[in-house]
Each structure stands twice: as C-alpha cells, then as structure tokens.
C-alpha cells in the first residue's frame, strides 16, 4: 500500500538522479563529481588523524629506538646507533634486566627443556591439514619456534638458579593475573546471577574497585600490606609476622602487585560476564532442568558455550591491558625490591625517565612484538575452539 | 645594554636593601613571576615556599615553587631546557649535575652577579661549597643554600648504657648495631632496630652505599678520587675493596627494619628521631630534626661522627685490600682510614639562561635572599628545611644552635662532625663528570637494589656495575670522560 501523492514524471531530456532529484547535464556532472569527492572529504580527516596520532608516532618511535639522545649547546640531538639499543636488551648489559638471569641447565631445567623440545617437534610433525599450502607449515613453524622460545625463557629464568627479567615478570602478571581475575569474576557473576537476597548491593560493591584510580589502589595496598604500620599491624604482630616484609622478597612483592591487579580488574570481568549470563535464553536452562541436568552439567553444556564468545573477547581485552601494567608496580614497590616487580612498561618508563629515550623506545617495541604474538596466538587458539564443531 | 645595566642596579639595590629589611610601597620586581623547580618536600621546598611571600612583599616578585619527585628532577630540568620549553626560570638542584647543564649552556653563569653581591657574603660560604660545588669549568653557576656531608648518627644514651663507643670503623658499626638490635630503644614495648639506612631504589639511597665504600676505595687524599682509575678510567668498583664495602652494606640490613628496602630518607629520619633506631647514616638533617620538640623523642640523645673508616684499603696496583699503614693510609687516624663523603654537594640554586632578563634578575635576587645569613642562619637550624650548615659563621656561632634548642654539647658534637668531614684531607668528592646521573642514579642504584633484594650476589653486582659504567664511558668517549674526571679532582697529567 502506498500513501501520499504519486511521484511526478521527469521532464523530457532530464534523468532522475539516484536520489530522485532532477538535474540538467552540467549540474548533474557537478553533483556526480561532488559525490565522488564527498567520500574523500569524509574519509581524509579520519585518515589524517590516524596518520598523525598513530602511524606517525609509531614510525618516529622506531627511529628513536635506533638512536641515542644527546644534549648539545642550545638543544638536543638524536645520534644514530643502529640496533645498539636492541642488542643491549637482548645480548648486552641490559639482558639480565630485560630477559632475566639465564641459569645454567640444571637437571630440572634439562628435563623442562627436553619437554619443550618434544612439544615443538610434535607441533611441527602434525600433518598439515588438507588444502593447506606450504605457507601454513611455515606459519606453524613460526608459532612453534616463538612459543618454544617463550617456554625456554620461562624454564631458564623461573626454575632454580634463574631469575626472571621484566619480560617474564610481565608474562607472569598477564598469565596469572588474567586467569585469577577471570576465575573470580566468573564465580562472582554466577553468584550474583542467582536470585539471592542483597544481589543488587553486592553488584555495586563488586564494581567499586574498578572506579578507583589505579594510583589510589596502589597506595591503598601499600598501606594495607605494611605489616608493621598498616591497619592490620596488630593482627600480624599477634601472628608473629610483624618482622616479615613481603616488600623485601621478590616473589612476595610480585604477589602483592598481582593481588592489587586482581582486586582492580576482577570487577571488569564480573560485570561483563554477569551481563552475558543474564542474557542467556531462559528456555534452554529450563529445558536442561526438565531433562534432569544438574547444575554442573547445565553450566558446562548450556551456559559455557553461551558465554564462550564473550569470554574470548573479555580475556583478549584484559591480556592486551595487562601487558601494559605500570601504575601498580610503580607506586606499590617502585619496581623493587631490586627490579623484581618491574613490568615491561615500567622498564620503558624508567628508561625514559632517565633520558634513555632510545632504550625506552626499544623496550616499547619489543613489548609491541610480544603483545602482537600473544594476541595473534590467542586469537588462533580461540577461533579454532569457537568455530570447530564439538 | 642600558636596560641590562639598570636591571643590574635594581638587583643590587634589592639585594642590598634586603639586608636592611625595610618595607617598600612597590618593589623592583613588581609584576615579575619566577617559576622555581625543586624536589617534592617537605625538605628543601619548605623554606623556599615559606620565604617566598616575604620576598614578594619586599620586592614584588612572585615566586612559584614547583616540586617533582627527586627521581624526576634531573630529567625535568634537562628536558625543559633542552627542548626550549623553558617553563622553569630557576632550579634548586644537585650541583653535581652541573656538567650536564653548564656544558650545553642551559644555565646562566653567575660569576659576575655573585662578585657584585655584597649581601650574599660569599666569602662566608665554606670554600668547598663556594669553590667546588658552585663552580664548573672555572665559572660560578649556583648559589649554595645547603651543605651536605654524610655522617653516622648514634644514640648517645644507648651507647653509654651498653658501654660502647661511637663507631670508628664499619666493623664497629656492625657490632654496635648487633648489640642494640631487637631491643626496645624508645620504651614503647616493641623491639626496635640496630641500624636504619634508607635503601629504597629510585630515591636518594645510592649515596648511602658510597658512604661505606669511600673509605675502602680512597686513602691517598681527595685528589685520588674514589670512582675511577686516574690513568685508565676503569671503574674501581671491580675491586676486592668495593666487594668488601658491599658486604658491609648488605650486613647492615641484618639489623635493620624488615621493609628497609622500601625506606627513603624520610622513613629512616622519622624512625631515628622517634627512637626506633640505634644508628643511621644520613646528611646533617638528623641533627636538627632531633631537636624538633613536635616530633623528636631523642632530644639530647643524639651524637654524630665522621663516617666510619676501615683498617684495610684498596691497593690500586693489585686491586686487593691491604692493611693500613703510613704509606697506604697517610691520613689515617689510629690505623683507620676515614673518607668522609661530600655526597650530593648541597642543594644549590641555578638560573635558566633562557629566562627573560628581568626574571633572571628576580630569580637571582631570591636565591641570594635565601642564602644570605639573615635567612640561612635560621633555616639551617630547622630540621624540616633540609638545609644543613654551609657557612663558616654557622660553624663558629654556637648561639644559633643554642637558640634553636640544641644543648651546647650536642651542638659542639654535631658541628664538630660536619667540620671534621669538611676539613678532612681525604674527603671523597662526588662524581661530577658528564652524565654522572646515569652512572649513579641508574646503574649503581639498580645494581645495589638488586643485590639487597637478593636478586644478585655481590660478585654479580660488582660485575653489573663495572660493566654498566664501562658501557657508559665507552659510549660517551673514554678520553673525554677521563679528562672531565681528572678536572673535577684538579689532577693534572
């Protein structure tokens, strides 16, 4: 059914434009030209913004990472040093700081390295899938080598005799932190999705840490974790722990940073997962109940597949964010004791603060490489899990 | 030229009249605003902020004191001037960084201003601060407002009760710390600590380790230097002597608070003056903080001594420790080599060369005002200022200290310890070569922090520092750095 007046027929010698307007030859050409230019007009500001705010600094920082800052009369200069800043981090005097202390292979490490090597061979030996070309094998080899290198680094630095550098410390923050945050967030979300008394109150309370500035959280934890002077000092004294200092122990300090990080970011996991849980179609859950499934079966068979896509995105966002952790270790421990709690971002920040701009940019670029590798590997993993039929 | 002359006359008039102290209807710097950068207080920033309004009333110049954490001060100054942002007109900073600020011409030379400034009473400033700290390459760049030597402070009452004498050597220090550790030192019923030393990374702690190392590394007088070999510029940290110093430094932690690695000087000072520590290593601040009735629980219970020494010193030919005798320790006392460390060099004021002329004049007038005896003689007796005595008259006039609340004996002891350090022929000068901040605040600080956190062993720390310093020297040019190092020690080769 149509309503309104019927459209008038176009005049002789004129054609209706796609928009329905009637234009003569030159006007139509102009309009068409403007129409073509309009695309560029709308596109270019965004492109220019992107170039200036993202691409340009990215390339300039590559250049900075290949230079050393020098102060000269009246200003400063960037002296070209090639790959020296990267060499310093990977093979030179900063290797221990960046990669960690690579201990000589003890029997435990030999076993660990053997397991890694076998794992690599298994990954490489798996037959390529039908239809996959040589590039697939090359890609698989690349990922296997990169994954093996990370595993080798973890084994050499985390097992006895070794000592993690800022790279492994960051990987620990990311791995442990994101896993614990997800576990706690999911647990709390499942609880708050139940019809229990006070669930609205708890939803607000569980969200509060996310609204506090990270520096505030770091100071709060610094006070809370002061066993000698903090609010729990009498309790620690009663337990005979007043003379213990987590801040003097590398792993104690790292755990303190991770506790603060978990406290800060669990609410993010919680709120997104709660929304995912509550958006499940109730018919499926009811059908499962009618079919006699218990709660555990209902969760694994019904709920988990429903929230898996959200989980994948959520974990991806947190992995990217967690790699950039800087405020907590900076305020809570100043990166100490020693360099034990320094993350890669804090490493870059301290280098920048001491005017080693080239070194700082080199750390930042290596971080970019690691994050890219981790994210792409994660995406390959979850895409396969989410798309393959179970 | 005429304008500069008139401004100079205005400065001289202002500086001269400030001594007399009359109030004016309108000052010579009416409408001028000076941004001064220094480190986050309360020390150092407090007296600048407290006296700024008085200065404004006298001259019309508005003084804005901007503060940043100590670890950021060097780079804030350097980047502000190097990028020509020039948002700060003057600085109160560590004069040991002068090489990096004076060489590129970022700081204004103050030689002629100082020479013309009678009210400053330049000759009253102790020669070390006047002729060494304030000077680079023969020109004066700063006005000292503070004097800095590290010393050991001890609790006189506790040592007397225990029948112990103040430490002469670092072994004595450890013995006293062990004897008084885990005892209730302030009567609050909880066990306290034998030694408290600020050991926090990215703070001011890297000077502490050199206070211990100095006497192991330098024994032939000030010109011998304690950081590098004078012929090769090889770091002396690669020696047995520095390893021994690190052993002592680590050992002090056995008698310290459990979270000592997170303590900066604010924490150690607070703990000492509230009676929680038997010993500490610090600049002159403890002496005046201990007489502050608001916070101190150790009034008249504090003694100070020149930094403890050693019975064994570095033989630079062999790199080994050798016993002290007349040859190896010509300045030794009772077989002990003392090497008091002029750590930091005393907070000093400098002026951005790119500041507008009238602002420079106002900035200089303010720095001069802060350093003039009328203000300085009061400020050095107040603990929270962070200013320690640096003028000859401040050492000679006991009345200043008695008026501030110090007993005669305590004042004599405190000033005596500083004077003994100041007059020592084996005083350790701080590193003043280009980019010394990277050598000390980056490489040394990080390596020592890792050692204290048990991330590395002493041998690994020695290697790390040695290789790190060598890398910087090679990067900046060994000959250039060696020449600068010799010049700071006034060594001609």
| Residue B445, in any domain of the structure | yes
Are residue B211 and residue B290 in the same domain, yes or no? yes
Are residue B157 and residue B51 in the same domain, yes or no? no
Are residue B124 and residue B192 in the same domain, yes or no? no
Over residues B317-373, the pLDDT tens digits come to 988 999 999 999 999 998 999 999 999 889 999 999 999 999 999 999 999 999 999
Over residues B262-301, the pLDDT tens digits come to 888 989 999 999 999 999 999 999 999 999 888 899 998 9
Mean pLDDT score across all residues of chain A: 83
**pLDDT band (50, 70, 90) for residue B27:** confident
pLDDT at site B142: 96
Any idea what the CATH number is for the domain that residue B434 is in?
Answer: 3.40.190.10
| Residue B422, in any domain of the structure | no
Are residue B335 and residue B286 in the same domain, yes or no? yes
Strand pairing report for B428-429 and B341-342: parallel
B95 Cα distance to chain centroid: 9
Please give the sequence-ordered ranges of beta strands (E in DSSP) within B78-150, or none if there are none. Answer: 90-93, 135-136, 139-140, 143-144
Domain total in chain B: 2
pLDDT at site B40: 86
| Residue B411, in any domain of the structure | no
Are residue B117 and residue B247 in the same domain, yes or no? no
Are residue B106 and residue B172 in the same domain, yes or no? no
Percent of residues, chain B, with pLDDT higher than 70: 95
Tell whether A158 lies on the interface with B, counting CB pairs under 8 A: no
pLDDT at site A133: 63
| Residue B398, in any domain of the structure | no
Instruction: Search chain B and give the residue with CA nearest A333.
Output: B262
Considering only residues B405 and B233, tell me which one the structure prediction assigns the higher pLDDT. B233
Q: In the numeric block, which tokens belong to residue A246?
A: 């987590």
pLDDT at site A50: 83
Calculate mean pLDDT across residues B387-416.
91
Q: B125: helix, coil or strand?
A: strand
pLDDT at site A28: 83
pLDDT at site A93: 85
What are the chain A neighbours of B451 within 8 Å (beta carbons)?
338
Hey, are the CB atoms on B449 and A337 less than 8 Å from each other? yes
Hey, are the CB atoms on A244 and B258 less than 8 Å from each other? yes
Among candidates B404, B212, B244, which has minimal Cα distance to B319? B244
Quickly count: other Cβ atoms within 10 Å of residue B22's Cβ: 7
In this structure, of A316-320, B6-10, B390-394, the range with the lowest mean pLDDT score is: B6-10
What are the chain A neighbours of B74 within 8 Å (beta carbons)?
355
Q: A63: helix, coil or strand?
A: helix
Hey, are the CB atoms on B261 and A247 less than 8 Å from each other? yes
Please check the confidence at residue B21 and state whether its pLDDT lies above 50.
no
Hey, are the CB atoms on B453 and A250 less than 8 Å from each other? yes
What are the chain B neighbours of A74 within 8 Å (beta carbons)?
84, 104-105
Are residue B264 and residue B308 in the same domain, yes or no? yes
Counting every residue, how long is chain B? 493
Most confident of A133-137, A338-342, B19-23, B173-177: B173-177
Which residues does chain A have with pLDDT short of 70? 1-23, 109, 124, 126-136, 386-390
Tell whether A74 lies on the interface with B, counting CB pairs under 8 A: yes
Q: In the numeric block, which tokens belong to residue B61?
A: 């110049």
Backbone phi, psi, residue A225, to 5°: -95, 5
Over residues B365-376, the pLDDT tens digits come to 999 999 999 999
Catalogue the long-range contacts made by B80-83 (C-beta closer than 8 Å, 24 or more residues apart). B80/B37, B80/B352, B81/B106, B81/B352, B81/B354, B82/A71, B82/A75, B82/A76, B82/B106, B83/A75, B83/A76
Are residue B255 and residue B188 in the same domain, yes or no? yes
Of residues B75, B261, B468, nearest to A353 (C-beta): B75
Minimum distance, in Å, between the CA of residue B70 and any CA atom of chain A: 11
Are residue B62 and residue B189 in the same domain, yes or no? no
CB B487 within 8 A of CB B257: no
Are residue B129 and residue B269 in the same domain, yes or no? no
Q: B66: helix, coil or strand?
A: strand
User: What pTM value is reported for the model?
Assistant: 0.80
pLDDT at site A132: 59
Are residue B311 and residue B458 in the same domain, yes or no? yes
| Residue B27, in any domain of the structure | yes
| Residue B230, in any domain of the structure | yes
- Distinct helix (H) and strand (E) counts, chain B: 21, 15
Are residue B215 and residue B248 in the same domain, yes or no? yes
Fold classified for A163-387: MetI-like fold (1.10.3720)
pLDDT at site A388: 61
CB B108 within 8 A of CB B351: yes
Please check the confidence at residue B413 and state whether its pLDDT lies above 80.
yes
Question: Which residues span the domain enclosing B172?
Answer: 151-342+427-488
Among candidates B189, B384, B183, which has minimal Cα distance to B295? B384
User: Domain ranges in chain A?
Assistant: 104-161, 163-387
Torsion of CA B421, B426, B432, B433, to 10 degrees: -170
Hey, are the CB atoms on A334 and B200 less than 8 Å from each other? yes
| Residue B133, in any domain of the structure | yes
What are the chain A neighbours of B437 within 8 Å (beta carbons)?
354
| Residue B396, in any domain of the structure | no
Minimum distance, in Å, between the CA of residue A90 and any CA atom of chain B: 15
Among candidates B248, B428, B412, which has minimal Cα distance to B338? B428
What are the chain A neighbours of B468 within 8 Å (beta carbons)?
93
CB B357 within 8 A of CB B2: no
Over residues B112-127, the pLDDT tens digits come to 999 999 999 999 999 8
């Amino acid at each position: 059914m149509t309503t309104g007046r019927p459209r008038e027929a176009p005049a002789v010698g004129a054609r209706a434009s796609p928009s329905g307007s009637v234009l003569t030859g030159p006007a139509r050409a102009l309009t068409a030209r403007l129409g073509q230019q309009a695309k560029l007009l709308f596109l270019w500001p965004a492109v220019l913004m992107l170039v200036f705010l993202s691409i340009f600094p990215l390339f300039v920082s590559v250049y900075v990472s290949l230079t050393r800052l020098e102060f000269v009369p009246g200003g400063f200069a960037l002296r070209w040093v090639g790959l020296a800043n990267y060499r310093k981090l990977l093979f030179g005097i900063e290797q221990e700081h960046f990669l960690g202390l690579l201990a000589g292979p003890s029997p435990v490490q030999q076993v660990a390295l053997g397991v890694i090597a076998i794992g690599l061979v298994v990954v490489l030996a798996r037959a390529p899938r039908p239809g996959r070309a040589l590039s697939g094998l090359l890609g698989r080899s690349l990922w296997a080598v990169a994954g093996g290198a990370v595993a080798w680094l973890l084994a050499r630095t985390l097992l006895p005799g070794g000592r993690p550098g800022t790279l492994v410390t960051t990987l620990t923050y990311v791995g442990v932190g994101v896993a614990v945050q997800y576990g706690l967030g999911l647990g709390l979300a499942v609880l708050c999705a139940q019809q229990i008394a006070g669930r609205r109150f708890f939803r607000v309370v569980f969200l509060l840490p996310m609204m506090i500035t990270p520096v505030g959280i770091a100071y709060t934890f610094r006070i809370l974790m002061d066993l000698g002077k903090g609010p729990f000092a009498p309790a620690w004294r009663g337990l005979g722990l007043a003379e213990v200092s987590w801040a003097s122990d590398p792993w104690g300090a790292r755990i303190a940073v991770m506790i603060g990080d978990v406290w800060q970011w669990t609410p993010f996991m919680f709120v997104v997962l709660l929304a995912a849980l509550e958006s499940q179609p109730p018919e499926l859950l009811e059908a499962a109940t009618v079919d006699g499934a218990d709660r555990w079966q209902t969760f694994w068979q019904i709920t988990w597949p429903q929230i898996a896509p959200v989980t994948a995105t959520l974990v991806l966002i947190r992995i990217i964010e967690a790699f950039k952790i800087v405020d907590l270790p900076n305020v809570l421990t100043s990166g100490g004791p020693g360099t034990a709690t320094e993350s890669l971002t804090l490493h870059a920040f301290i280098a920048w603060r001491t005017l080693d701009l080239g070194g700082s940019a080199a750390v930042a670029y290596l971080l970019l490489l690691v994050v890219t590798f981790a994210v792409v590997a994660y995406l390959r993993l979850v895409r396969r899990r989410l798309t393959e039929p179970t | 030229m005429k304008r500069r002359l008139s401004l100079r006359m205005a400065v001289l008039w202002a500086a001269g009249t400030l001594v007399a102290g009359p109030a004016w209807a309108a000052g010579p710097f009416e409408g001028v605003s000076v941004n001064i950068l220094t480190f986050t207080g309360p020390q150092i920033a407090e007296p600048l902020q407290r006296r700024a309004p008085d200065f404004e009333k006298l001259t019309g110049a508005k003084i804005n004191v901007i503060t940043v954490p100590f670890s950021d001060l060097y780079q804030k100054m350097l980047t502000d001037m190097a990028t020509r942002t020039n948002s700060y007109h003057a600085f109160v900073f560590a004069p040991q960084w002068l090489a990096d600020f004076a060489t590129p011409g970022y700081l204004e030379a103050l030689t002629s201003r100082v020479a013309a400034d009678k009210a400053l009473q330049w000759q009253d400033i102790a020669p070390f601060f006047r002729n060494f700290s304030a000077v680079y390459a023969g020109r004066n760049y700063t006005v000292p407002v503070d004097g800095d030597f590290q010393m050991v402070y001890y609790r006189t009452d506790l040592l007397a009760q225990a029948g112990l004498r103040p430490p002469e050597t670092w072994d004595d220090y450890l013995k006293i710390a062990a004897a008084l550790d885990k005892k209730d030192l302030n009567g609050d019923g909880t066990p306290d600590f034998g030694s408290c030393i600020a050991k926090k990374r990215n703070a001011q702690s890297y000077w502490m380790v050199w206070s211990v190392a100095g006497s192991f590394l330098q024994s032939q007088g000030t010109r011998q230097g304690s950081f590098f070999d004078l012929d090769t510029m090889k770091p002396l940290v690669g020696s047995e002597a520095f390893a021994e110093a690190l052993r002592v430094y680590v050992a002090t932690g056995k008698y310290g608070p459990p979270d000592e690695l997170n303590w900066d000087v604010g924490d150690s000072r607070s703990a000492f003056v509230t009676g929680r520590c038997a010993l500490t290593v610090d600049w002159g601040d403890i002496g005046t903080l201990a007489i502050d009735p608001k916070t101190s629980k150790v009034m008249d219970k504090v003694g100070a001594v020149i930094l403890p020494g050693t019975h064994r010193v570095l033989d630079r030919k062999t790199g080994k420790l050798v016993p002290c005798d007349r040859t190896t320790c010509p300045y030794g006392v009772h077989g002990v080599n003392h090497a008091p460390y002029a750590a930091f060099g005393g907070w000093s004021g400098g002026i951005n060369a790119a500041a507008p002329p009238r602002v420079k004049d106002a900035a200089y007038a303010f720095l001069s005002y802060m350093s003039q005896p009328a203000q300085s003689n009061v400020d050095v007796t107040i603990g929270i200022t962070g200013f320690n005595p640096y003028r000859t008259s401040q050492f000679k006039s006991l009345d200043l200290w008695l008026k501030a609340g110090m007993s005669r004996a305590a004042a004599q002891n405190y000033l005596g310890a500083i004077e003994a350090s100041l007059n020592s022929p084996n005083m350790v000068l701080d590193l003043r070569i280009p980019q010394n901040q990277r050598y000390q605040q980056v490489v040394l600080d990080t390596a020592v922090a890792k050692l204290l956190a048990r991330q590395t062993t002493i041998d690994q720390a020695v290697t790390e520092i040695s290789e790190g310093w060598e890398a910087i020297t090679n990067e900046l040019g060994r000959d250039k750095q060696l020449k600068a190092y010799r010049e700071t020690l006034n060594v001609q080769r």
